[in-house]
Chains A and B, each alone.
Chain A
Amino acid sequence: MDDARITALALRARDGDRAAAGEFVAATQAQVVRLLAHLADPSVAEELAQECYERALGSLRRYRGDAPARSWLLAIARRVAADHLRRRARRPVAPAEPAEDDRPLGRAPQSDPAESAAVRDALAALDADRREAFVLTQVIGLSYEDAAAVCRCPVGTIRSRVARARADLVDALGEPSAQRRSG
């Protein structure tokens, strides 16, 4: 679904159209969950996504449609992830796996598990800023400009972070020809 349509849904939802609110959530939830899985933690991504939508729908009446609604929503998701990490850092003991019992095992990421696990681990090992820029532009598919709007940084910063993330991934995932690199 394109940005214009998502923005139109958000504006209708703001004006009290609950069906549009539902469509807005349906159209964006996969990306929100994915972003949160990468920026925070896959095991709590769903819970954080719910929190993200509660915040977004709560402040929707202040949304005027100046920026694309998807970027606006992803910026909220980014903040939710940051809050989560801050909360977790404040707590010295690792928190218990949340609600492990009510999460079906089928929820685990799939599609060639070994392959995607390797990519995920490599992404998780990236510097946080680089990972954020890379996930927003590659996994979520935002343009550099939209990613810059989400992160509130210059486009050039996104560009260099994405390039450094790529370089780190080339090193980490050890493509055969990478061995020939001099560095």
Chain B
Amino acid sequence: MTSSSACDACREAMSAALDGEADAGEHARIEAHLAGCADCRAWQHDAAAITRRARTGAVTPSPDLVDRVVGAAPGPRVRWRGVAARAGLAAVGLAQAVLGAVSLLGAATHAHHAVDPLEVLGAGMAHATHESAAWNLALGVAFLAGALWTRHLAGLLPVLGAFIAVLAVLSGLDLVAGRVEPGRVVSHLVVVAGFLLGLAVVRTVPRPGAGPTPGARRRLPSFGGGPRPETPERPATTAPTPWERESDVA
């Protein structure tokens, strides 16, 4: 007679063997035990039969979830939009850099004649022009760099957003007061275009992450309490694809 703990150990090993997860040593020990234990021989037979039933028995016809969770839009579109936005951003960056360089040259050639008529906060008019030209040139370089290294782009957007917001208000006031020519204000639209394209690029480029984290947590809609907040029939053209939503960030 064999002890029941020996039987338990043998049955665990037989279970592993049924799954192809037992090594040669275990197979030998199983054989040795089975030679003297009729109960475990019966158990092995039953366990094998039940394993077959469980593996083949519970077949559930599976629904097709593809359209519901991925949407029906054609595949390459997202990528194309990303490429187009990057190319646009590079073009805008080039334009902005040229604008900045031109105004820098203009400022440099005009600077030596005439004594500055006005001085604000310790900077003559010429120096203020230098500052603004340098800033415009830097923005152009930033757009170009952002088009190239997209992962740094997101950090630029808050700066640009603030700049555009303040500049828009000031430009409006200056236009009304006649302190600026409309042409000069129009040239600011290049920055706005760069900002919008940067936004588009950031939305289409996959973000760097911290590796596989199945633990994405999210506020869950409760079942049985009315319709689910996310309807699968969202228009695929404007809505972000499901995997672009921010709501899944753990």
Interface residues of A (CB under 8 A from B): 13-22, 25-26, 29-30, 33-34, 37-38, 42, 44-47, 49-51, 53-67, 72, 75-76, 79, 83, 87, 95-96, 98, 106-107, 109-112, 115-116, 118-120, 123, 134, 137-139, 141, 143-144, 159-160, 162-163, 166-167, 169-170, 173, 175, 177-178, 180-183
Contact A17 B79 (CB under 8 A): yes
Complex CA gap A19/B70 in Å reads 9
Contact B71 A62 (CB under 8 A): no
Complex CA gap A22/B67 in Å reads 8
Out of A25, A64, A67, A118, name the residue touching B66 (CB < 8 Å). Answer: A25
Q: Top 3 closest A-B pairs, CB basis?
A: A58-B248, A62-B209, A19-B75
Contact B224 A49 (CB under 8 A): no
Interfacial residues of chain B within 189-236, with CB under 8 A of chain A in the complex: 204, 206-207, 209-216, 218, 220, 222-224, 230
Interfacial residues of chain B within 26-69, with CB under 8 A of chain A in the complex: 38-39, 42-43, 45-47, 49-51, 53-55, 57-66, 68-69
Complex CA gap A15/B208 in Å reads 11
Q: Which residues on the B side are within 8 Å of A54 (C-beta)?
A: 69, 230, 242, 248
5 A-B residue pairings within 8 Å (CB atoms): A49-B65, A62-B209, A112-B57, A159-B21, A163-B12
Contact A25 B60 (CB under 8 A): no
Complex CA gap A110/B19 in Å reads 25
Q: A26-B66, A33-B60, A107-B63 are in contact. Are A170 and B47 (CB under 8 A)?
A: yes
Contact B75 A180 (CB under 8 A): no
Contact B212 A61 (CB under 8 A): no
Known: A18-B73, A63-B209, A163-B14. 20 other contacts (CB 8 A): A14-B243, A22-B66, A22-B70, A25-B69, A25-B70, A33-B62, A42-B60, A46-B65, A54-B69, A58-B247, A58-B248, A110-B61, A116-B57, A159-B15, A162-B16, A163-B12, A166-B47, A166-B51, A170-B43, A180-B39
Contact B61 A144 (CB under 8 A): no
